[in-house]
Structure 1
C-alpha cells in the first residue's frame, strides 16, 4: 500500500484515553484497539493518503522519541493489515472501463465499507462480479427480482431459465414484465430486459422444464453460482434436492429464495457445506412429525417477492465476490408482519446426510438416492 488512508466509512474515534473504535459501531465490522500510549491514534491520524508507510513510521518516531523504528513499523503494519485502510494512490483496474468505474462507483463504496481484507485498489469485488457466470432457474416473483439485481450489480454472464410464459396474474409481483409481455416466454423477456438494463451484460434465456437432477447438472455446467428461484416439483424428490446434489457434485455454491405468506427467507449453501439436506433435516427435527420445510405458495405481495429476490441476489453476490470471506451455509429472513421474528439458522453438517454421502461417493447414487 503506497499511500494509506483510513476509509471514510471507518473513521476512528477515541473511547476514553486508551482505546480506539474503528469501523463504525452497528454494522458488525467494528474493532476496538488498545492504545495506552497513543501510538495507534497518531498513526491513524497520519494515514491521510499523503504519506507512505515508512513516512508514517518516521512520523511516529518524531512524535514519540522513545519509540524505536522497529516498533513504529510494527504499529503501521498492524493497521495496514486491519482492512480499515485503502490506498489513495491505487489506479482503477484495467479490467474495468472508465464508464464501468463510473457506473459501479456506489458498488465499490459498498464493498470498500464491508470488506476487511486489504486489497490493491478496492475494485476487486466488482471485477469478480464482471467475470462471474450465474445461472438463474425460475423467473417468477423471486427470480425476476434477483435477475434485475444481479444485472444491475454488474454480473457479467447471466443465463435465465423458466418453462412458463407471462400471465396476467404474474404482474402483481414479478419485476421486468409488462402487460405487453403477456403470452411471451418469460426467459426471453427477462434476458431482453437485462440487456436493456446493462448493455455490458451477456444475458441469455432458455425456455425449458427441469425434470431431473441430470437436467439441472447439465444446465449448471460452466457456471460459478446458482440462484434457484423455482419451487416445483416439491416433496422428497424436489427441485431443491436436485439442486443441492448437482451443486455438491459440481462444487458450485447456490442460494434459494422463497416466501410463504409473510415469511420471506433465503438459504445460502457454500460448496463445502453443510448442504441443504443437512439444514432442512435439522430444522424438521424440531417441527411436528410430518411437517416439512416448504417455502412457496400463492400468498405473496410485490414487497415479499422483491425481498426474497434481493436476498437471493445478495447471497449470490457474496458468493462470487468473496465478501465476506467467511461465508457459511445458513438460512436467514424476516416475517413481514412480525419483524421482531428474524430468521437465522446455522447448523453443522449431518453425518447421516444423504446429499453429503453422495458427494463422498463421487456422485454414484442408488435408485433410493436418485
Structure 2
C-alpha cells in the first residue's frame, strides 16, 4: 500500500486511555483494539493518505523513543492488514478509463466500506487497491435464467453494477400483465420476445457491458448443463417446469457438476427470499429435504405463486443480484449456502437460515470431498 488512509466508513474512536473502536456498524464490521501504550492510535492518526507505511513507522519511533523500529513496523502492518485502511493514491488500473472510474465511483465507495479483506488483483498486484471488486465484476460472466419479475430486476442490477458479460435466457414474449412488475418492458413491447427487448434495454443502461441472449426453454438436466457451462455465476429466476424434479433441481445439479455458485430468487405473495448455493453444498436438495423433514406428511411446500406487485418483484430481483455480486467479488467473504429474505407485510419476519447438509444427498454428497477451491473470476 502506497499511501495508507483509514476508510471514511471506519473512522476510529478512542475509549478511555487504552481502547480503540474502529469500523462502521452500518457495514457490520466493528473491532476493538487494546492500545495501552497509544501506538495504534498514533499510527491510525498518521494514516491520512499523505505518508507511506515506512514514514508512519518512523513517525511512531520518534513519538515513542523506547519503541523499537521492528515493533513500530509491526503495528503499521497489523493495521494495514485489518481491512479498515485503503490506499489514498487511488487506482492505476488499465482496466478502467475515466468514464468508468466516474460511473463506478459509488460502487467503489460501497465495496471499500464493505470489504475487510486486503487483496490484490492477480497479474496486477497492488495497482488496483480499492477497485479490486469492480475489476472482478468486469471480468465476470453471469447467466440470468428467466426475465420475469425477479429476473428483469436482477439483470438490470447486474448490468448497472458493471458485470462484464450477461447472458439472458427466457422462452416467453412480453405480456400486458408483465408490466406491473417487470422492469425492462414497455407497452410497445407487448408481443415481443423478452430476451430481445431485455438485451436492448440493458445495453442502454450500460454500453460497456456485453449483453447476449437466447429465446429457449430448459427441458431437462442436460439442457441446463449446456446452459450454465462456462459462467462464473448463475441467477436462477425461472420457475418452469415447476415441482420437485423440475428446473430448480436441474440447475442445482448442473451448477454442482460445473462448480458454479448460483442464486435462486423468488416470491410467494409478500414473502420475498433468495437462496444462495456454493459449490460442494449444502445444496438446494439439502434445503428441500430439511424443509420436508419439518412438515407433517402430505403438506406441500409453497414454492411461489401469482401474487406479486412491483416492490416484491424488485426486492426479489435485487436480493438475487446481491447474492451473485457476493459470489463474484467475495464481499462479504465466506457466506456459504444460505437463505435470506423478508415478508413485506410483516417486516419483523426476517428470513435467515443455513440449510444443513443432508448426509445422503444424491446431488451434493459426491461433490463434498475432496473440497476444491472455487474458481477465481479475476484470473
The alignment's TM-score, normalised by the length of structure 1, stands at 0.95
Unaligned runs of 5+ in 1: 363-370
CA distance in 2, matches of 1:197, 1:92: 26
**Given the alignment of the two structures, is residue 212 of structure 1 paired with residue 220 of structure 2, yes or no?**
yes
Matches within 5 A, 1:6-85: 6-85=6-85
Query: CA contact under 8 A between 1:227 and 1:255: conserved in structure 2?
Result: yes
Range with bigger deviation, 94-103 or 175-184: 94-103
4+ runs of 1 displaced by more than 6 Å? none
Shift of 1:18: 1.3
CA distance in 2, matches of 1:138, 1:246: 16
Q: Deviations over 1:264-297 (max 9, x none)?
A: 0000001132111112211222223233443321
Aligned length: 362
**From 191, 208, 225, the counterpart of 1:200:** 208
Query: CA contact under 8 A between 1:92 and 1:101: conserved in structure 2?
Result: no
CA distance in 2, matches of 1:359, 1:76: 42
CA distance in 2, matches of 1:352, 1:342: 30
Structure 1 residues 140, 34: closer, same or farther in 2, change over 3 A?
same
**From 343, 346, 349, the counterpart of 1:341:** 349
Q: Deviations over 1:159-192 (max 9, x none)?
A: 1111110000111101110000000001111011
Range with bigger deviation, 328-337 or 120-129: 120-129
Shift of 1:219: 0.9
Unaligned runs of 5+ in 2: 120-125, 371-379
CA distance in 2, matches of 1:288, 1:263: 22
Matches within 5 A, 1:224-303: 224-303=232-311
The alignment's TM-score, normalised by the length of structure 2, stands at 0.92
CA distance in 1, matches of 2:265, 2:95: 31
Q: Which residue of 2 aligns with 1:365?
A: none
CA distance in 2, matches of 1:312, 1:169: 22
Q: Which residue of 1 aligns with 2:114?
A: 114
Query: CA contact under 8 A between 2:281 and 2:368: conserved in structure 1?
Result: no
Structure 1 residues 81, 204: closer, same or farther in 2, change over 3 A?
same
Structure 1 residues 89, 81: closer, same or farther in 2, change over 3 A?
same
CA distance in 2, matches of 1:47, 1:358: 49
Q: Deviations over 1:57-109 (max 9, x none)?
A: 11111111221111111111110100111111243311111111110000000
Range with bigger deviation, 292-301 or 13-22: 292-301
Q: Deviations over 1:209-244 (max 9, x none)?
A: 110110011011211110000111122211110000
**Given the alignment of the two structures, is residue 351 of structure 1 paired with residue 359 of structure 2, yes or no?**
yes
Range with bigger deviation, 102-111 or 84-93: 84-93
Q: Which residue of 2 aligns with 1:178?
A: 186
Structure 1 residues 192, 123: closer, same or farther in 2, change over 3 A?
same
Shift of 1:324: 1.8
